[in-house]
Structure 1
Amino acid sequence: MTRKPLTLTGSALAVLRALVERGPSTRPQLGQDLGLSRPTMSAAMAELMEAGLVEPIGSVQGGMGRRAVEYRVATHAGHVIAVDAGSTHIRLRLSTLDRRLLHASLHPLPNSQYSLTPQISSVVADAVAEALEKTEVDWGPLLAMVIAIPTRVVGPEGDTAATDQEVIFTNFTPPPQVDCTLVNNVNCAAVAEYHYGAARGHQTFAFLQVGVKIGLGLMLNGQILPGVNGAAGEIGHITFPFAPGLTPVPGEAERYIGTEAFMARVRADWPKGSGRPPADTYELLARAGEGDAAALRHVEGHAAEIGAVIAICVSVIDPGLVVLGGGYGASPLLRPKVEEVVRHLAFPAEITTSTLAAEATVLGAERLAVDRAVSVLLGLPA
């Protein structure tokens, strides 16, 4: 099921975008926020109702004891699918255009994937197939899909072979006639933090993800900076190691800071009198949180290394705010040492921790999918 592009007046489009952004609202609320008169607001709402884009959902108590009808984006107006094709899990959200969740799933990968692999593609295919099977007719058409992938992404005119982004399609084929977009996973997480998380109210900030891999999302004046080669924020490729007698290796900073190499160092350096080494970062952080001296030493040491990486970002970008995220990076145990190191090595920058945790990437992908869906619905440029 597909729609022909709709043509809306400017006021109706503004109301639709407001409902997409904020969820259920009354006409007086929307009129006040958008600066629309009562007649204009009434005409815009009637236009959207006739187009099948909004629906009333009841009434709420307003001022002066009056009740006002509350409206939302119609469920049957369409839906989107967002996928986080991560290194350890595949997360999927199927939602309405105002981000009401209709279906969600979590699919663990058999083992950690350092790069985008056919195995990730297979699990994405299974997750999307499951979502399509659960889709109900009254959810309307699938208008857009965004897949967040752990690699840089370029457009059709770029060198897609060099990015490995097409690996996602090894075992997965998007549904026909659906706008399917690939976006770097860290950029998606930055979008979510900007709209819903720790960076709300900040037009410029950096988001550093630390997990199996590391990556940086850069929001400048409210816009994600992708870079000419889709490589803006690929901080794992900074020159490393950089010292006399050492030859820098591409991607070595990411491998060194990433949790697999970090945990290998932890196991190799674990004191003999401190029991068995932690099995993974989750256990390491738990033991550090309980005051285990050996665990705390390793967590603080790694936080100092992460702080040094962030200091490079702050020295070059001067973002003012850095949000720490990712499966490991979002731990509040890292923040004090990271702040100390950044303050010592670079310029002033607020360091904070993600409030969205593991959901950041899929929520950002959902947000981008909704933006694309509205453009598809109205025949606007993406």
Structure 2
Amino acid sequence: MAGRNGRTVRDLRRGNRAAVLQRLYFDGPLSRLELGPATGLSSGSVSNVVADLVADGLVEEAGSVDSDGGRPRTLLRVAADSGHMIGVDVGETRVRVELFDLALTELARTHRQLAHHGYDVDVIVGHIRDGIAEVLDTAGIAPDALLGVGIGVPGIVEHTPERGAVVHGQTIGWDAVPLEELLRAGSRLPDSVPHFIDNGAKTLGQAEMWFGGGRGARNAAVVLFGSGVGACLVTPEVEQGRAVEWGHLTVRVRGRRCRCGALGCLEAYAGAESLLARWREEGGRAPDGIDEESALTALLDAAYPPEGTGAGGPGGTDAAAADPVALAVLEETAEYLGAGLSDLINLFQPERILVGGWAGLQLGRRFLTAVRDHATAYALRYPAARVSIDLGLLGPDAVTVGAAILPLADFFARGGRRAEPVPQGPPPAWRTALDERAPH
């Protein structure tokens, strides 16, 4: 039965369960008495919801605390082993797969390098399938115990009713790739396990907003800086965040050609791939046969030589001279990044900007101060004075963690109920009749 606001009793129960689960997840352990003010529910509603969640195995006791003159109060927490999620990061250099319990404790991980195959769709689909099977086998978890598989990918993700998630990855040569459909074909997972596919910058943003440097912020921009660059924007209107193709803002008319084919994109100057290309064009040389991450390390070492590697040899006292070419390329990159961040500041006025991704974390420790200075110089004074720019707190695995959050967030939104499998075969006659009568 629906109320005046259109919500049914089932909707109310689901909302109450979701409220209790989320408060226990982020702030627990908590007592029943504490859950009332934390969720806005009455003591009777809290008791009923907790009883349901305990019966479902989602909530468990976690000790007790003394009360003021009364009986000790029992503390409650989310049962970590009551569900499992897989997070997948389809990155520029590897496919990383990790298995987590409900508390996002990592239980198993694996990765597959992409150096020799690039973004061949069949290869990546195979890597994802094999990685999922490997982490489940390593941890001894049955596939039907999964709440879902979250996958972060480069590019724009279109969610379609016919083919599921379709990826438009112009920079990697993916033109309307039906990734969800391909993963489902031949999958060893049961149909009851959903796939959640989204842009990698958004999954990074999810992780930082839930557990990292974005906690407590209402407006934030989380920047993913790897071979290319992207961003996730979080606002009160879009609390789950939305991915934006920040890397393809034009920062120089008729400038360098970007991987997307256009001229003058930010990614053509600030992405790690283009940064290394510019270094080589200016005469810099990375060791042969190394991957992109190692090449970036070599560039950083050339620009900022480690102490004790100068004329005195390893362990000596003379500092090596910085490579002026490497230093000039990095300084120019810092300015482009700062200018790109100023666009985010002017357009969206975030209170925080967090820089993540494997390249962002490597480079940020060296020149984040310069990036901040350039961003402030290029941005309008009012929003620039109210934003902080820092490194993300979750490290290079943040995209994978954020991908695992996608099924977890869906699970919470359902009040701790598993997603119902999509029915197979033709719809019932009553559904067909309703669809035919609906206005078009």
Q: TM-score, normalised by structure 2?
A: 0.71
Amino acid at match of 1:121: V
Q: 1:303 offset after TM fit, Å?
A: 1.1
Q: 3-state SS of the aligned residue for 1:329?
A: helix
Picking from 306, 312, 315, the partner of 1:290 is: 306
Q: How does 1:261-300 map to 2 (within 5 A)?
A: 261-270=274-283, 280-286=295-301, 288=304, 290=306, 293-294=322-323, 295-300=326-331
Change (3 A) 1:116 1:84: farther
Picking from 200, 220, 236, the partner of 1:185 is: 200
Q: 1:289 offset after TM fit, Å?
A: 6.6
Amino acid at match of 2:85: V
Aligned to 1:194: 209
Change (3 A) 1:289 1:204: farther
Aligned to 2:371: 338
Between the aligned partners of 1:146 and 1:47, the Cα distance in structure 2 is 27
Q: 1:350 offset after TM fit, Å?
A: 2.4
Confirm whether residue 95 of structure 1 aligns to residue 100 of structure 2: yes
Change (3 A) 1:245 1:137: closer
Long gaps (5+) in structure 2: 1-9, 308-320, 421-440
Long gaps (5+) in structure 1: 227-231
Per-residue CA distance 1:15-43 (angstroms, 9 max, x = gap):
22322334543334434423455554333
Confirm whether residue 30 of structure 1 aligns to residue 44 of structure 2: no
Confirm whether residue 107 of structure 1 aligns to residue 150 of structure 2: no
Per-residue CA distance 1:263-302 (angstroms, 9 max, x = gap):
1222343579xx9899611233345273752244432221
Q: How does 1:28-67 map to 2 (within 5 A)?
A: 28-36=33-41, 38-56=43-61, 58-63=62-67, 67=72
Q: 1:373 offset after TM fit, Å?
A: 2.4
Aligned to 1:357: 395
Amino acid at match of 2:146: L
Aligned to 1:160: 166
Between the aligned partners of 1:297 and 1:188, the Cα distance in structure 2 is 33
Between the aligned partners of 1:299 and 1:313, the Cα distance in structure 2 is 21
Q: 1:170 offset after TM fit, Å?
A: 4.8
Q: 1:107 offset after TM fit, Å?
A: 0.8
Change (3 A) 1:11 1:190: closer
Amino acid at match of 1:259: A
Structure number with larger C-alpha Rg? 2
Change (3 A) 1:144 1:195: same
Aligned to 1:229: none
Native 8 Å contact 1:7 1:378 kept in 2: no
Native 8 Å contact 1:192 1:360 kept in 2: yes
Q: 1:183 offset after TM fit, Å?
A: 0.7
Change (3 A) 1:115 1:258: farther
The root-mean-square deviation of aligned C-alpha atoms, in Å, is 3.8
Q: 1:215 offset after TM fit, Å?
A: 0.7
Moved more, 11-20 or 199-208: 11-20
* Percent of aligned positions that are identical: 25
Confirm whether residue 176 of structure 1 aligns to residue 205 of structure 2: no
Amino acid at match of 1:363: V
Per-residue CA distance 1:42-98 (angstroms, 9 max, x = gap):
333222222332222x41444559754333333553322221121223333322334
Aligned to 1:215: 230
Q: 1:109 offset after TM fit, Å?
A: 1.0
Amino acid at match of 1:218: L
Per-residue CA distance 1:180-205 (angstroms, 9 max, x = gap):
11110001111111121122221112
Q: 1:245 offset after TM fit, Å?
A: 12
Per-residue CA distance 1:203-254 (angstroms, 9 max, x = gap):
112122111111111112252454xxxxx51122223640599999427522
Aligned to 1:144: 148
Q: What number of residue pairs does the alignment pair up?
A: 369
Between the aligned partners of 2:256 and 2:103, the Cα distance in structure 1 is 56
Aligned to 1:16: 21
Moved more, 205-214 or 131-140: 131-140
Amino acid at match of 1:42: S
Between the aligned partners of 1:137 and 1:194, the Cα distance in structure 2 is 28
Native 8 Å contact 1:79 1:140 kept in 2: no
Q: 3-state SS of the aligned residue for 1:49?
A: helix
